[in-house]
Every structure is written in C-alpha cells, then in structure tokens.
C-alpha cells in the first residue's frame, strides 16, 4: 500500500535523520589541532585529549591524527591537502593573544578555509575560528562559565540540523572565561545562552564553532576545576556550582556526536540538498 503525502514527509525526515549518522562510503581523513597540553589526569584516564576527541568524532575506517599546535606543530601543505577536515581544541591560552603559535594557527585556518576544508572549533577553537574569519574575541564581562549550561538553538540551527530535530534546550559542558565578542561578516549564530551571546556559529558551509565542550565528561571538567582551584584561579563556590550543575541537567552525548560529526563530515549539507530535491519532486507530482 502506498503512503500519502504526510506519511511520505514523515518517512523522509526519519530517513534523513538516519543518514546523518551513516558512515560515508569513502571514509575520510581528519586531524585534531591540539591547542593545549594534556593534563596528567586526562593522559592517564583517556590517553590524552586526542583520544577524547576521537571518541566523540571518529568512526570505523577513518584516519585520524593529532598535531600539537600549541607546540608549533601544524600540517605542511602536502599533509593538509590529504585531509578532509580539522578539529581545533580548547586551550588555556587566549584566542585574542599574539603568541607565535596562535598567529601561525590563524594563518593556517585562513589557508585551509580558502582551500575548502571543513573545520570544527571547540571553546578556544570556536574563538580562534571567529578571529581568523574576521571577528573579535575577548574576556566575558560575566566572568567564568563552568559546569553544564543550557544553550538555545536559533532558527538557523533548526534549519541546518533539521534531520536531528534539535530540542529547544541543549545542555553542554562549559569551561571558559573568553567568548566571541563580534562575529565575522556573514557569519550566522546557531545558538545562544543566558550567559553567552554566541554559543555556536557557522561561517559558510564548512566552518563551525562551539563554545562549550561536547567532548567533555564530568570527571574531565572536575579535574580541570580542581587544578585551577589549587592555583587560586577560581573559587570554591564555582567548583561546587559546577559539580551541582550535573545533578540538574545532563548533556545528550549522542546528540552532540550527531551535530559535530554531521557538520564536520558534510552530511548535513547533503541532507538539506536531498530534502530540497524531494520537496521539488513532490511539487511536480
């Protein structure tokens, strides 16, 4: 028995959502540009931040490698040309700083964007993408944001991630005191929160920044918080509040995997095109 228009539409959405998570026929090659050193805890518990990102983003058959950008390691032109995309990690450094490795990273981002590579930035990576594309970053006037916060997708995000049916509130782990002040020209806000005006943005179809940490777990965040507390960089109450935030809300790790993988690997754009073609076909019929 054939399906009516409404059933067809529902089936198209379900198929699109499944396709976002489908492994591409040709497995890609990706690199993490690590902008901070591994903490002792993360090294012992997870094997380093590279493995934390691989757990979030990698799929069977893909090739992943890490470059220690904080040490001045970046892919040479031939290596970069062989890669499909890059992930830029968080950092203890400021994205608005002028250390040589940061300036080199800004130049590298611009060249890879011009080459059509896909780039996903997280926390510091989100901010450095903003800077590289022509925006501004700096200290938040509201101070540290530590713990699980709810961010709110915009209508632009709802369209971009339509196959995923994003919820109105998306909890994510946050740990930052810097933020995006001014987006690059033509960039689009994808999410906001009560504390941060730009929680997510995209620049065209191949660059996206996420201020929070979709890769973090509670133990990773608390290990960093404890270290900063011992060095008198944050207060006891901030650590207590961060710990308590996990009792109030929990990030949906599977959803964040789909969001980050979908954008980094170009699935969302292909799904939008597919949906547009299906819509045109229905109009003709």
User: Which active-site residues does the annotation give?
Assistant: 123, 213, 215
Q: Which residue has the tokens 């490795």?
A: 101
C-alpha to C-alpha distance for 171 and 176, rounded to whole angstroms: 15
Instruction: State the helix-helix crossing angle for 267-284 and 5-20, rounded to 10 degrees.
Output: 160
| 3-class state of residue 92 by DSSP | coil
Radius of gyration of the chain (CA): 19
Burial (Cβ within 10 Å: 0-12, 13-18, ≥19) of residue 82: exposed
Which residues make Cβ contacts (< 8 Å) with residue 201, sequence separation at least 6? 126, 130, 180, 183, 187, 188, 189, 190, 208, 209
37: which 2 tokens? 């050193």
CA 252 to CA 21: how far, in whole Å? 15
Phi, psi (deg, nearest 5) at residue 182: -145, 125
> What is the bridge-based pairing of β-strands 136-139 and 178-182?
antiparallel
Q: How far is CA 17 from the centre of its chain?
A: 19
Closest by alpha carbon to 226, among 186, 175, 277, 285?
Answer: 175
Query: H/E element holding 145?
Result: strand 145-153
User: What is the spatial distance between Cα 96 and Cα 76, in angstroms, rounded to a whole number?
Assistant: 24
């Amino acid at each position: 028995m054939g399906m009516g228009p409404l059933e067809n539409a529902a089936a198209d959405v379900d198929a699109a959502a499944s396709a976002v998570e489908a492994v591409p026929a040709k497995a890609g090659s990706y690199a993490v540009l690590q902008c901070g050193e591994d903490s002792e805890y993360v090294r012992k518990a997870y094997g380093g931040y590279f493995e934390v990102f691989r757990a979030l983003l990698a799929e069977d058959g893909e090739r992943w490698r890490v470059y220690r950008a904080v040490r001045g390691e970046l892919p040479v032109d031939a290596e970069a040309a062989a890669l499909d995309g890059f992930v830029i990690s968080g950092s203890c450094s400021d994205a608005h700083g002028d250390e040589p490795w940061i300036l080199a990273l800004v130049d590298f981002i611009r060249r890879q964007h011009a080459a059509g590579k896909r780039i996903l930035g997280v926390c510091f990576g989100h901010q450095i993408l903003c800077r590289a594309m022509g925006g501004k970053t700096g200290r938040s006037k509201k101070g540290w944001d530590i713990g699980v916060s709810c961010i709110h997708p915009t209508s632009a995000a709802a369209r971009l991630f339509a196959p995923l049916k994003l919820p109105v509130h998306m909890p994510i782990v946050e740990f930052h005191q810097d933020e995006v002040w001014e987006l690059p020209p033509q960039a689009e806000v994808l999410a906001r929160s009560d504390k941060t005006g730009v929680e997510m943005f995209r620049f065209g179809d191949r660059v996206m920044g996420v201020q929070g940490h979709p890769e973090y777990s509670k133990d990773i965040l608390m290990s960093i918080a404890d270290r900063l507390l011992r060095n008198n960089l944050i207060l006891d109450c901030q650590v207590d509040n961060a710990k308590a935030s996990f009792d109030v809300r929990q990030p949906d790790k599977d959803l964040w995997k789909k969001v980050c993988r979908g954008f980094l690997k170009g699935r969302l754009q292909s799904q939008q095109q597919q949906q547009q073609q299906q819509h045109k076909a229905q109009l003709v019929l």
